[in-house]
Each structure stands twice: as structure tokens, then as C-alpha cells.
Amino acid sequence: MSETNKKFRFKITVIGDGAVGKTSLIQKFTNDNFKEEYIKTIGAQFSVFDRKIDGDKIKLLFWDIAGQDSFNFLRPSFFNNSVAAIIVYTLEKNEHGEESFNHIHNWAADIEKYCGDIPVVIFGNKVDLVDEKKIDTSAIEKIVEEKNYLGHFITSAKSGQGVIDAFNTIIDELYVKYKDIPV
């Protein structure tokens, strides 16, 4: 390895209501797999993914934080040292989908409270369960613009639609942000 190559380690927190697909999205991106059955995350779990950009090694630590309110007391410690965040909601046209969308503001407040001003991407997940042509993105685009987030991506952990682009957007942003900082 030449002296010019660097190693980076980025902790990315993945948050959102329970059962929106956070764990499935991470598994699709890191292992290219999908499990149909729902398995509730207890507290938090993390996944590691290695990537190279321009010869530099990047180790990504995805912290998947349980979305259920019963785990609220654990959240502050899980946010520690996060350099970016992903907020996930479900596109399902039901009460769960509506609530997960409405809770984006709560998750954003947690990010600001525990992490400060870090890059954030929003994933609208489970597009495979809805008619994509009928998705109205105007409300989420307004949030992205107001909060200066990196973007909003329509994703499906099941089919893989949008997953790689969505994760790579945040990874590329972190690389650009930190690559010129002396190690």
C-alpha cells in the first residue's frame, strides 16, 4: 500500500419506525440478500461493509437502531460518533406508512440532538408494495430541501431497486468530506 492511500472508518446510523425495512435494506446492500420474514431488531445491531474509492479503503459501520419506542432509552448511546444518518420510512399506503412518514421529523430531531449537523439521506422503502406511478414525492422533497439533506431515494430491499444508489450517495459524500483531512 502506498503512503498516499488512506483508511477511513465511518459510522452511519440507520433509523426509522419499526418494520419499515431498515435491517433488510442494510442486508440487501452489504450481502445482497433479502429475507421475507420480519425479525424485530432488539436495541441495535451493526453491519460492516468495506469499499474502496481511488485506492483508499473505507470501512462502513451501519448501526441499525430499533424503531420501537420501547428502545428510546438506548438511542443516545447508539448515535455516538455517527458521521451520517439514513432515515427510512415505508411507502405502504396504510396507517403504518403514514405514521412512518410523519415520524421523519422526530428522527431528524434525534439526529440533530445527538449528532449535530451530519449528512442525512431519506429512503422511502417498500416501493415493491405500491404503484410507483402514484407516489407523490412533493412533501418529502420539501423536507429534503428545507433540511438540506443529501436526497430522497425510492427503494425496495426486496427487489434491490434504488438501494445501491441510495447507500452510495451517502458513502461518496462522506469520502469527499473527509478525504483531504490529514489522518
Give pLDDT tens digits for 59-81.
999 998 776 666 566 667 788 99
Of the candidates 126, 144, 22, 26, which has an alpha carbon nearest to the alpha carbon of residue 71? 22
Total number of domains constituting the chain: 1
Inside any domain, residue 2: no
Look at 60-74, 85-99, 103-117 and tell me which has the smallest mean pLDDT.
Answer: 60-74
Inside any domain, residue 1: no
pLDDT at residue 5, rounded to an integer: 86
The residue ranking higher by pLDDT, 180 or 39, is 180
Structural domain of 162: 7-178
pLDDT at residue 4, rounded to an integer: 73
Inside any domain, residue 99: yes
The three-class DSSP label of residue 131 is coil
pLDDT at 3 over 70: no
Q: Are strands 56-65 and 44-53 parallel, antiparallel or unpaired?
A: antiparallel
Share of residues in the chain with pLDDT > 90 (%) = 77
pLDDT at residue 83, rounded to an integer: 97
pLDDT at 179 over 70: yes
CA distance 108 to 62: 17
Return the CATH number at 52: 3.40.50.300
Mean pLDDT of 6-16: 94
Compute the mean pLDDT over every residue in the chain, rounded to the nearest whole number: 90
List of residues 6+ apart from 8 with CB closer than 8 A: 56, 57, 58, 59, 174, 175, 178, 179
Inside any domain, residue 183: no
Of the candidates 87, 161, 152, 82, which has an alpha carbon nearest to the alpha carbon of residue 117? 82
Share of residues in the chain with pLDDT > 70 (%) = 89
In angstroms and rounded to an integer, the radius of gyration of the C-alpha atoms of the chain is: 16
Give pLDDT tens digits for 21-53.
999 999 999 999 888 776 666 656 789 999 999
Mean pLDDT of 145-160: 97
Of the candidates 47, 3, 57, 42, which has an alpha carbon nearest to the alpha carbon of residue 25? 47
